[in-house]
Amino acid sequence: MQNTIFTEEFGDTAHPPVLLIAGSMSQGPASWPDAFVGRLAARGRRVIRYDHRDTGRSKTIDFAADPYTWHDIKNDALAVLDAHGIESAHLVGHSAGGVLAQWIAVEHPERVSTLTAIGSSPLGRQEGMTVMRALMGEEQPEGSLPPPTPAFVDFYRKMITSPPPVTRREQIDFQLAEARVLAGGGFPFDEDEERRQAERLHERALDLSASANHRLAAAADMAFEPVGVLHTVKAPTLVIEGTHEPAKPGHGALIAEAIPGAELLMVEGMGHMLAPQVHETLAAAILRHTVTVQR
């Protein structure tokens, strides 16, 4: 199987490279808005974002014929660096992309100049199982990750018991409703702009439904993540979480506790996604974090 990943590059190629790794089932622009990317590129960073396999403009895959796991999705990030001729980069991962970035930092420390995890969970703690137990109404065992908020649970519980959206309007309406939940309520929700974004993502995707293969990838390899290894991360690490995080509340602190010397930044009002109100704060933090470390 030939895997083709769509990438976009911003800024001067002579500047320090920053690889943006999106979350599960997410196209690059969904996790990394243009305005945020532009701030990094305008201030001296070579920024690369890409669409995961089976999302956006990357190749869609017949999962039944060529199944893959999150181990493969992790290796796609390394392939993107290779394709751009980059030996090491500043890795910035959002949500599940933050887990992938942690994983790379553990396995390939020579390729990670710095690590930034935004709205993410600690590697090896099976965040997906915590979510599933919450959706099923099961008790969380001692030592499990903090569960998502009730609003998050209510939304996705209704989603898994309802017919999937089929028409363009149904799919965009679902994306809009999901964005409202993930926003967390810390800032006013711009419904018109979110609808425009949902329409843009709908139009640029080769096959919007193919992203569901990411769930199959996780189910095919439930123990895909290494466990108990975050203490081995050598890259300077910045962990960012919003005060209104609905999906992974409190997970950022656990990452910061596990990685020696990691810094935790709590961003007031931020939910799970990168709202316009926090673009400047996040960009400034990442620029500060990456400015002193070069290879």
pLDDT in tens, the chain (295 residues): 567 999 999 999 999 999 999 999 999 999 999 999 999 999 999 999 999 999 999 999 999 999 999 999 999 999 999 999 999 999 999 999 999 999 999 999 999 999 999 999 999 998 989 999 999 999 999 999 999 999 999 999 999 888 888 899 999 999 999 999 999 999 999 999 999 999 999 999 999 889 989 888 887 655 568 899 999 999 999 999 999 999 999 999 999 999 999 999 999 999 999 999 999 999 999 999 998 654 4
In a domain, 245, yes or no: yes
In a domain, 251, yes or no: yes
Which residue, 131, 132, 97, is CA-closest to 115?
97
In a domain, 250, yes or no: yes
In a domain, 180, yes or no: no
CA–CA dist 276, 186 (Å, integer): 12
Q: What's the whole-model pTM score?
A: 0.95
**Which amino acid belongs to residue 98?**
G
In a domain, 184, yes or no: no
Contacts by 266-269, CB closer than 8 A, 24 or more apart: 266/241, 266/242, 267/240, 267/241, 267/242, 267/243, 268/186, 268/243, 269/186, 269/187, 269/242, 269/243, 269/244
Which residues, in sequence order, are CB contacts of 259 under 8 Å at separation 6+?
102, 115, 230, 231, 233, 237, 239
CATH number of the domain where residue 24 is located? 3.40.50.1820
| 256 within 8 A of 264, measured Cβ to Cβ | yes
In a domain, 87, yes or no: yes
The domain tally of the chain equals: 1
Determine the structural domain holding residue 64 and report its residue range: 7-127+207-291
CA–CA dist 49, 84 (Å, integer): 11
In a domain, 144, yes or no: no
- Give the alpha-carbon dihedral of 241, 243, 249, 253, to 10 degrees: 50
| 51 within 8 A of 80, measured Cβ to Cβ | no
The residue whose two tokens read 């018991």 is 161
In a domain, 39, yes or no: yes
CA–CA dist 263, 290 (Å, integer): 13
| 168 within 8 A of 143, measured Cβ to Cβ | no
